[in-house]
């Protein structure tokens, strides 16, 4: 009986973790927002036990941060920190794409094409309003980084900032015309990888992330007080 209860509690904790993470990544709960256990328990209809476990897991992913005498907040990056990270991503993910063109297996490349086909079916992407990618193997960038087969790159790019960067990637994708453009850019990168053109794959990935950074800079400028 106890094992059943434990399994049931674990499943509930997994569910609330997944829902809370999605709400943070999608910006339903905005970066920097203070979160209350009471409010979250009411929002998700769960008790404190599963909720606290979900919060601990999100803290380990750097999506939530606990401050002494303040409480728990959704993590946030300053504009300058975010732009610096995008410059690093441009260089390192470009390198990862070049290596992927050389080292990915045919099966891994086919998996990239299949993944983009799945992305293309998303309603938000079809309507060109957002491009949401779930974590890990369902994330195009994650697949490319893994496909580099370079442990140092993987450690650097899929480390403690991965989930936080994924949050900003999504939230800044919700601008007119950007989602479809991003999908098109992804497809061109896959074509270069499939052709084993490492130089082109690196160039296209660098351009893709550079355009994403420029989009962030443009949106930040529009949001700033005149």
Q: What is the pLDDT along the chain (226 residues), one digit of tens a residue?
A: 333 333 454 688 899 999 999 999 988 999 999 999 999 999 999 998 999 999 999 999 999 999 887 889 999 988 999 999 999 999 999 999 999 999 999 999 999 999 999 999 999 899 888 888 889 999 999 999 999 999 999 999 998 888 988 898 888 877 767 899 999 999 999 999 999 999 999 999 999 999 999 988 988 787 665 5
- CA triple 138-28-218, angle to 5 deg: 80
Residue 174 tokens read as 């919700």
Distances (CA, A) of 184 to 35, 57, 179, 180, 187: 37, 34, 9, 6, 5
| Nearest-angstrom CA–CA distance, 121 and 136 | 19
Give me the domains of the chain, ranges plus CATH numbers: 2-74 (1.10.10.10), 79-223 (1.20.120.530)
Whole-angstrom distance, CA of residue 55 vs CA of residue 135: 17
H or E element that contains 64: strand 64-67
Residue 178: the pLDDT is 87
pLDDT at 10 (0 to 100): 63
The CA-to-CA distance between both ends of the chain, in Å, stands at 63
pTM of the predicted model, to two decimals? 0.83
């Amino acid at each position: 009986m106890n094992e059943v209860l434990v399994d049931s509690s674990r499943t509930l904790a997994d569910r609330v973790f997944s829902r809370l993470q999605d709400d943070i990544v999608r910006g339903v709960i905005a970066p920097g927002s203070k979160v209350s256990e009471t409010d979250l328990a009411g929002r998700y209809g769960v008790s404190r036990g599963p909720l606290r476990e979900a919060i601990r897991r999100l803290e380990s992913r750097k999506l939530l941060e606990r401050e002494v005498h303040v409480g728990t907040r959704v993590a946030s990056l300053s504009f300058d920190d975010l732009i610096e990270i995008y410059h690093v991503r441009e260089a390192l993910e470009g390198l990862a794409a070049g290596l992927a063109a050389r080292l990915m297996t045919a099966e891994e490349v086919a998996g990239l094409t299949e993944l983009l086909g799945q992305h293309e079916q998303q309603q938000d992407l079809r309507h060109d309003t957002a491009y949401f990618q779930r974590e890990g193997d369902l994330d195009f960038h994650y697949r490319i980084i893994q496909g580099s087969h370079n442990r140092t790159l993987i450690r650097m790019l899929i480390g403690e900032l991965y989930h936080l960067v994924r949050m900003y990637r999504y939230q800044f994708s919700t601008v007119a015309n950007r989602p479809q453009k991003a999908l098109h850019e992804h497809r061109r990168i896959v074509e270069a990888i499939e052709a084993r053109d490492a130089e082109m794959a690196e160039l296209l990935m660098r351009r893709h992330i550079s355009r994403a950074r420029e989009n962030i800079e443009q949106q930040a400028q529009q949001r700033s007080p005149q």
